[in-house]
Amino acid sequence: MKKFTPKTFSIPTLKGISAKTIEEHLKLYEGYVKNFNGIIDTLTEYKKNREANAYAIGELRRRISFEYNGIRNHEVYFSALEGGPTTLVESSPLRKSIETYCGPFDEFVAGFKNMAATTRGIGWAVLWYDKKDDYLLASWIDEQHLGQLNGCDMILAIDMWEHSYVADYQPSGKKQYVEDFFANLNWNVIEENFKKAQK
């Protein structure tokens, strides 16, 4: 079965989020790739005797979404930090869609930051595009597998697991981490994510 290879990211010096945090965080991302590939290998082995391994196979299948989404969510997160910060210009299709479905742009950003900083527990703050209904909506994912929206594309995602920010901000600095994520955000990448999701 197909295996995954970790992607590489060219992340510049960031405001607030240290190079050491990014380095350690990338190791965690690579860990998801390794664990996903490990599940595929183990399943291949267990499937040689499905009856004897039925319980273990079921548990591994249950686990796939945790590892798989750990890969994909991190790819959205790290790629958004590549290339340096840019703004979302007023004429951009994404900005227009945000204003149609989520309200005035500045209010949307403020609300998104608030969701990221105040939702309790670890997880992800996400902006999704639903191609079936040409619809944008924001939601929270617990860990990285509980709350993914079926069939929607992840346009923008902030990793709100503590490993993303505690070393630089301490637990009490969650709000500043979210502010700095947006200060570092390359909106052009998010615009591209939106364009790809519309195809």
Residues that bind Fe ion (CB under 5 A): 159, 161
Residue 78 beta carbon to Fe ion: minimum distance, rounded to whole angstroms: 9
Residue 133 beta carbon to Fe ion: minimum distance, rounded to whole angstroms: 30
Q: Residue ranges of the alpha helices (H) in the chain?
A: 19-46, 54-79, 93-101, 105-118, 166-169, 174-184, 187-198
When the beta carbons of 67 and 159 are compared against Fe ion, the nearer one is: 159
When the beta carbons of 68 and 161 are compared against Fe ion, the nearer one is: 161
CA 171/CA 167 separation, integer angstroms: 9
CB distance 16 to 180 below 8 Å: yes
CB distance 16 to 168 below 8 Å: yes
Residue 73 beta carbon to Fe ion: minimum distance, rounded to whole angstroms: 8
Residue 56 beta carbon to Fe ion: minimum distance, rounded to whole angstroms: 27
Q: List the Cα angle 60/63/69 in 5-degree steps.
A: 140
Closest residue by beta carbon to Fe ion: 159
When the beta carbons of 161 and 194 are compared against Fe ion, the nearer one is: 161
When the beta carbons of 108 and 161 are compared against Fe ion, the nearer one is: 161
